[in-house]
Amino acid sequence: MTEHPALNPGPFFLEGGETGILLIHGFTGSPPEMRLMAEHLHSQGMTISAPLLPGHGQTLQAMRGVRWQDWAAHVQNSLDELRGRCQQLFVGGLSLGAILTLYLAIHNPDLRGIILYSPALWVRDKRIYLTPLLKYFIFSLPKSPDSDLHDPQALQRLWSYGENPVASAHEVLKLSNYVKRRLPQIHTPALIIHSTRDTAIDSQSAQRTWQKLGSPQKDLVTLHKSGHCLTVDSEWPEVAARSAAFIKQILST
């Protein structure tokens, strides 16, 4: 994955009704990876906000000095802005975006529901546990040249950096540890969607997240023809439909 000149990596907003959805992109990614979800939910009458996380959507150097607290503050501000427009609030996020979604659920118990796409609380690349030391010697590491995406056209729907900044990966680790300890405190209704093709997160990450969540209402959906970025891959129509159905179910209760 790399930058695609045809895509605008900036934030976007889709005006709709009284139900507002904050959609948060993943690590080194950008809002276009949430565009298909956004357009489907917007077609159902919902208001959509898709912010751009600090350090993202520019150049890899922009990630220098950005802390996880900066990401958390940014999505909180975005949620507060959405709160000023909408009466019913939901948050959905992909990968790092899913971790930030959980962070928001911890600090905003009034959320009606959360959707976790490929939650990255546990990842496959164990080098992340070396980042506290490694970041002093290496600025970035190349991503795997092998894509786990099922649809060859899915890459054209993504804008992300071609490398992973090591110090930023350490920030992801710190945020993950913060959220993991507080999962039992979250009681917001949750929908978790993951895929068995995902090579970025640990194969048990979604299941463990589901088990540890304190939410009395929580659903786990397993896909088999999508990669990590399942919001743009072969099964994105099912992902979008399940997301909309979850939100409507919550609103009907």
Q: Which residues are identified as catalytic?
A: 95, 198, 228
CA distance readout (Å), 147 to 86, 118, 143, 198 = 38, 15, 10, 10
CB 71 within 8 A of CB 52: no
Size (the chain), residues: 253
DSSP letter at 123? Answer: B
CA distance 213 to 183: 5
- Ramachandran region of residue 118, left (φ > 0), alpha (ψ -120 to 50) or beta? left
Amino acid in the structure at residue 122: W
CA distance 121 to 172: 9
CA distance 246 to 20: 14
Amino acid in the structure at residue 231: T
| Degrees to nearest 5, angle at CA 155 with 50 and 157 | 35
CB 81 within 8 A of CB 22: no
CA distance 132 to 248: 42
CB 223 within 8 A of CB 196: yes
Coil, strand or helix at 138: coil
